[in-house]
């Protein structure tokens, strides 16, 4: 029964209980009566299937659309021959448009919705000319980037709407706006950058067919390593979440991972917002504080607001810090080498359950600094924690 099929089929699709075999010169349909139908086509390069319609880019120019076993020439695609565009991959974009991803000519959106039902029902096999705006180029850095690669396939995630483009330089991840958000290559652990095809499984993980072997990529992986490429190449001494952002103190400064950034953003990583050796982030009444040299600062997004100075000890480093229910107005900071700093929030009342509304409007007061160095003594001694008792 299948002896009339070509020696090879470029692609195979199942649509409405029929099987379609795409070859270079013909389209073969195996219907549910086990009959083979032959639909002649010009010289086809690579085909794609979107919403039950088969798109057939032609080597000599134009894209044909198979709809209800009838070929329609898509208007304003005649210029798209293989010499100008290379391979063309068609994917779903939204309920009105498909996206055309080409190797040499860039990325385009084609509005299938402008082809009316009357056009699809035309007996001529060619739809009347809609406006030229039916096809528009997507502004994207990938328009130039893909020209320097060998594009092998394009896949789309139904969950995120992101596109994964297989090339000889790894897998390019593009968001729906056409922005390059990630390149999965050897730098990210891909053992071979020559990628021929990708597949997204039901768990939304990516499988990649490589020149040697298969790679399994957990797109939603919970583990991300931040190193020099992620903005931090120093020892991380402390991390705190504050107002949606993630702050990290290191031996070289204060870093921020903004709340609006996600792992799929191309600029996903930490930003340096203050230089200096830091060892601790401190919370006081729902505010984030940091001690840099001789000054206590409140962290306000990417800015540091000065709250209090410690003029006598400019180089001491803040390590541990703690606020207690017994003394809600006071903040205890352990300093290197062996001192204890007590900071007072002068606006918050000791009997108030609510924190200060705006800490920067009420400068903190360094109430006292107590040396914890052992004193020479022949017997244990006791002394009050404060020179003046806490209120």
| Residues contacting residue 197 through CB under 8 Å, at least 6 positions apart | 152, 153, 166, 208, 209
pLDDT of residue 140: 93
Instruction: Tell me the pairing of strands 317-323 and 330-336.
Output: antiparallel
pLDDT of residue 361: 46
Q: How far is CA 180 from CA 139, 264, 371, in A?
A: 11, 9, 55
Cβ(335)–Cβ(341) below 8 Å: yes
pLDDT of residue 359: 42
List per-block mean pLDDT (blocks of 10 residues) for the chain, which spans 391 residues.
54 84 83 78 86 92 88 92 94 95 96 71 54 92 93 90 93 93 86 88 85 79 57 74 82 81 59 80 75 78 78 57 67 64 62 41 57 52 48 48
pLDDT of residue 159: 84
Among all chains, which residue has been given the structure tokens 């931040």?
A: 226
pLDDT of residue 241: 80
pLDDT of residue 315: 54
pLDDT of residue 353: 43
Cβ(232)–Cβ(248) below 8 Å: yes
pLDDT of residue 215: 86
Quick one: tokens of 31? Answer: 């219907």
pLDDT of residue 70: 85
Cβ(101)–Cβ(117) below 8 Å: no
Extract the runs of DSSP E, i.e. beta strands, from 205-346.
Answer: 206-210, 214-217, 236-242, 245-250, 253-257, 271-275, 281-284, 287-292, 295-300, 303-309, 317-323, 330-336, 339-344
Quick one: tokens of 354? Answer: 């609510």
Query: C-alpha 303: how far from its chain's center?
Result: 25
Cβ(257)–Cβ(224) below 8 Å: no
Instruction: Tell me the pairing of strands 245-250 and 253-257.
Output: antiparallel
Closest CA to 309 of 281, 341, 277, 340: 341
Q: Model's pTM, two decimal places?
A: 0.57
């Amino acid at each position: 029964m299948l002896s009339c099929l070509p020696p090879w089929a470029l692609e195979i699709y199942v649509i409405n209980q029929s099987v379609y075999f795409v070859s270079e010169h013909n389209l073969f349909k195996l219907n549910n009566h086990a009959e083979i139908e032959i639909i002649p086509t010009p010289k086809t390069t690579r085909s794609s299937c979107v919403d039950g319609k088969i798109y057939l880019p032609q080597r000599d120019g134009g894209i044909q659309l198979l709809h209800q076993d009838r070929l329609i020439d898509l208007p304003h695609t005649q210029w798209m021959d293989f010499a100008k565009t290379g391979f063309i991959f068609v994917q779903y974009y939204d309920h009105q448009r498909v996206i055309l991803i080409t190797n040499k000519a860039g990325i385009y959106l084609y509005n299938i919705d402008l082809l009316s039902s009357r056009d699809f029902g035309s007996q001529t096999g060619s739809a009347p000319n809609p406006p030229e705006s039916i096809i528009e180029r997507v502004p994207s850095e990938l328009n130039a980037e893909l020209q320097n690669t060998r594009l092998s396939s394009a896949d789309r995630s139904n969950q995120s709407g992101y596109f994964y483009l297989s090339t000889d330089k790894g897998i390019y991840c593009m968001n729906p706006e056409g922005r390059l958000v990630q390149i999965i290559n050897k730098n990210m652990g891909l053992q071979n950058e020559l990628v021929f095809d990708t597949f997204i499984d039901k768990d939304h993980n990516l499988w990649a067919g490589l020149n040697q072997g298969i790679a399994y990529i957990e797109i939603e992986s919970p583990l991300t390593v931040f190193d020099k490429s992620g903005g931090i190449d120093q020892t991380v001494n402390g991390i705190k979440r504050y107002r949606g952002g993630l702050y990290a103190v290191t031996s070289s400064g204060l870093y921020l991972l903004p709340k609006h950034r996600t792992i799929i953003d191309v600029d996903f990583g930490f930003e340096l917002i203050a230089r200096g050796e830091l060892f601790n982030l401190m919370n006081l009444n729902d505010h984030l504080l940091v001690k840099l040299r001789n000054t206590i600062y409140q962290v306000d997004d990417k800015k540091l607001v000065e709250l209090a100075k410690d003029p006598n000890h400019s180089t001491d480093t803040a390590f541990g810090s703690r606020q207690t229910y017994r003394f809600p107005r006071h903040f205890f900071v352990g300093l290197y080498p062996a001192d204890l700093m007590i900071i007072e929030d002068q606006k918050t009342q000791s009997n108030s359950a609510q924190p200060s509304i705006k800490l920067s409007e009420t400068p903190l007061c360094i109430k006292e600094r107590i040396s914890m160095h052992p004193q020479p003594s022949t017997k244990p001694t006791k002394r009050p924690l404060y020179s003046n008792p806490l209120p």
